[in-house]
Amino acid sequence: MLISVGIPIYNAESYLKLAIDSVLQQTYNDFELLLVNDGSTDKSLEIMKSYNDPRIKIINDGVNKGLIYRLNEMVQLSKGTYFVRMDADDVMFPDRIAKQLELLKSNPKIDIVYSDAVSIDKDNRILGYKESKMVRDKNDVLNGVFPIHPSVMIKKEVLLKNPYKEGFIQMEDMELWYRLVEKYHFQNLNVPLLFYREDSSNNSRKHLKMIQGKTKFSETYKIKKSKIIFSSYLKYVLYFMLEKLKKEHILLNRRFQQLTVIQKENFKKQLDSIISG
């Protein structure tokens, strides 16, 4: 088996079925799908168990151990040569796995491939476009240039040798890419292969937590704190103020590029096709 897809799940009942369906609808269908329940208290586990597909494996221990623990657990349990990241609220384009696998198989030197994404909101409305960029060195990562995490396909052996590290709250991916970027070959595909759900809630709290993670990052890698923490602190203050005014959409719109009406309509048709099965 070449492909393992892993979805960490915590209270994702609103979007989980669509996420799973988008994996099962892939044009490349020889994969295993690991659904790892991280102690959900909603109907997430019930949704997982509603599927009768031999490719699906449910991991459920009833405990909330956190995202970083679950990411490493999925890699350890996976049987594929390549590991595909996916979140429980995102949606794969039908040809995502096929296109990423083709690139990795035809270019053995590439270790990590990732793509562009189309931003959607909680109601599946098309918001905008997220363009991926090539990651070449540690300075790129420090400047915010790194893969859209749930768009990544990576050689499993890379993650076995370099697991996610605990303590890097809200930035476990940035810390990972910082460690890997000068040892492994990254490659982006400038085509959209993921509908990425933008979360407009509790962003101030997330950036406050990220300050903790970035503080640990600066101490671990001997980087001047102000270089990486200032932006998170500024975003925390701005989001806090805008959330009080119920205008957090002002910053949300900065996360993606604007699309034309026609582009939005075309992407909406593609998303609706996945939703309808």
Q: What is the DSSP string of 27-90?
A: SS--EEEEEEE-S--SSHHHHHHT---TTEEEEE-S----HHHHHHHHHHH--SSEEEE--TT-
What is the homologous superfamily of the domain 3-198 according to CATH?
A: Spore Coat Polysaccharide Biosynthesis Protein SpsA; Chain A (3.90.550.10)
Residue 178 near residue 99, CB atoms below 8 Å:
no
DSSP state of 257: B
pLDDT greater than 60 at residue 125: yes
What percent of the chain has pLDDT above 70?
A: 96
Q: Quickly tell me which residue has 């300075």 as its tokens.
A: 139
Domain positions in the chain: 3-198, 203-249
Q: What is the pLDDT of residue 202?
A: 63
pLDDT greater than 60 at residue 200: no
Q: What is the pLDDT of residue 22?
A: 98
Residue 56 near residue 9, CB atoms below 8 Å:
no
- Write down the pTM of the prediction: 0.94
11-43 pLDDT per residue, tens: 999 999 999 999 999 999 999 999 999 999 999
- What is the three-class DSSP state of 172? helix
pLDDT band (50, 70, 90) for residue 204: low
pLDDT greater than 70 at residue 111: yes
Return all residues near 91 (Cβ < 8 A) that are at least 6 apart.
Answer: 18, 19, 22, 120, 194, 195, 197, 271, 274
220-270 pLDDT per residue, tens: 999 887 777 877 777 777 767 777 777 777 667 778 999 999 999 999 999
What Rg value do the Cα atoms of the chain yield, rounded?
18
Average pLDDT, the chain: 93
Mean pLDDT of 72-84: 98
Q: What are phi and psi of 59, to 5 degrees?
A: -110, 120
pLDDT greater than 80 at residue 205: no
Residue 75 near residue 83, CB atoms below 8 Å:
yes
154-196 pLDDT per residue, tens: 999 999 999 999 999 889 999 999 999 999 999 999 999 999 9
